[in-house]
Amino acid sequence: MVKRKKYTDKEKLEINNRHIEMFNKSLDGIELLLDGILNDLRFYDESFLELPKPLISALDFIISSLTKIQKSQRQALGLDDEITTQEVEPEISIIEGINLSKV
């Protein structure tokens, strides 16, 4: 059986801050890659339907990486916690004076 270390609130905050710093560095790297590809595409004179497969793969990698970084960053910042923990009651509309036999 593996024992898990219990982290103090201070340790959790430090780890979270390191994650956020790493996500920001990752975003900087992805931005450089994307800027380079977009710059190359500005001078591309053929049909975009005929883009080279390595370029399409690179774009797919960038988009996938960006999605993962954003999801992890939102989790580290606790942005999604607020949405999921809120109790949302359904809206109920009451219409008065309606004749149910005509509905």
User: Residue 6 pLDDT more than 80?
Assistant: yes
pLDDT at position 44: 82
Is residue 92 in a domain?
A: no
Within a domain: residue 35?
A: no
More confident residue, 91 or 87: 91
The number of folded domains in the chain is 1
- Residue 61 domain-assigned? yes
User: What's the pLDDT band for 32 if we cut at 50, 70, 90?
Assistant: very high
> Is 48 within the bounds of a domain?
no
Domain hosting residue 60, numbered range: 53-80
Q: Judge whether 33 and 62 are in contact, CB under 8 Å.
A: yes
In a domain, 25, yes or no: no
Contact by Cβ (8 Å): 50, 25: no
- Alpha carbon of 7 to those of 17, 66, 69, 71, 101: distances in Å? 14, 29, 24, 23, 64
The single-letter DSSP state of residue 99 is -
Residue 73 within any structural domain of the chain: yes
